[in-house]
Amino acid sequence: MSPAISTSDASTFLAEARAAVNAALAAWFPSIHRDHPGHVGDAIVYALEGPGKRLRPALTLAVYQAADGAGDAAELAAAVEVVHTYSLIHDDLPCMDDDELRRGRPTAHRAFGVEVATDAGFRMVPLAARIIASGGARLGLDPRRQGDIAGVLLAAAGAGGMIGGQMLDLDAEGAALDRRELFAVHAAKTGAMIGASAEIGALTAGVEPGRTAAARAFGRELGLAFQILDDVLDVAESSERLGKTAGKDARQRKATSVSVLGEAAARVEAEERLASAIAQLRAARLDSHVLRGLARFVVDRRS
């Protein structure tokens, strides 16, 4: 996606970012099938072809654009989507959230079996690193900056981020968490990855460390708002609208924003997190109409 896109319409930007990231992913499909023959490669491609919002890579591209990044960063943003999609495959497994529907289609383990889906997810982590190297080279980034980007993405996916957050989430089933404990789970499970998405956009554009840290803080606050809305939508919307099974949080006795705060207070909390995220955008000097619009979309969405 060219950085010349000037629209302030976040919906248009999101659609264009989605198309650019989908094209970047599709360019890797022949390599995926070649390197991972059989059902594992099929499962990776199946998961990546799912009709997701592509919000995380869109944030990467929007921050990159707001920071006056020059060049096509869609491939680097696609690496963010690969790691996010890997997390969805594993989150849906019977040993985790045990879901049968994702992005309006059967989950990867329903389509290909648990063993294949598990293997596919693991293989997507080194795949993301390869895509970073390719996208970084396309932009002329030196190996050190490519390594920094990979480090941010993989750290957000690891024990201190997404994986650790998932374990905390599983441990909290049936437990009575307080507000602080709940948001610690949210910050790891969702906030770390969305924070990394914004940070990678700043890193790719070569923004100085202080502004990059503020971009990361913007994404982390937005990630908390995103997870709060996910919790609300689980009780407020249908499976058809969500593209995944609604009402599962209560059936699995998960600790959520709704169970801890109540639906009305959870929506208020999401708005407060949104305001905090926008304040971080100002601190990063990245306060663009597109980024504000994407942040507003997180809180206003219905799926």
The model's pTM: 0.93
Rounded distance between C-alpha atoms, residue 295 and residue 16, angstroms: 17
Q: Walk me through the domains of the chain, giving residue ranges and CATH numbers.
A: 10-300 (1.10.600.10)
Q: What confidence tens digit (pLDDT) does each residue in 191-241 have?
A: 999 999 999 999 999 999 999 999 999 999 999 999 999 899 988 766 776
Q: What is the mean pLDDT of residues 238-253?
A: 68
CB distance 22 to 51 below 8 Å: no
Rounded distance between C-alpha atoms, residue 102 and residue 106, angstroms: 6
Indicate if the pLDDT at residue 3 is higher than 60.
Answer: no
Rounded distance between C-alpha atoms, residue 80 and residue 203, angstroms: 13
Instruction: At 37, list the tokens.
Output: 């023959």
Q: What confidence tens digit (pLDDT) does each residue in 26-76 have?
A: 999 999 999 999 999 999 999 999 999 999 999 999 999 999 998 999 999
Q: What confidence tens digit (pLDDT) does each residue in 37-47 have?
A: 999 999 999 99
Q: What confidence tens digit (pLDDT) does each residue in 132-162 have?
A: 999 999 999 999 999 999 999 999 999 888 8
Q: What is the dihedral of CA 283, 194, 244, 48, to 10 degrees?
A: 130
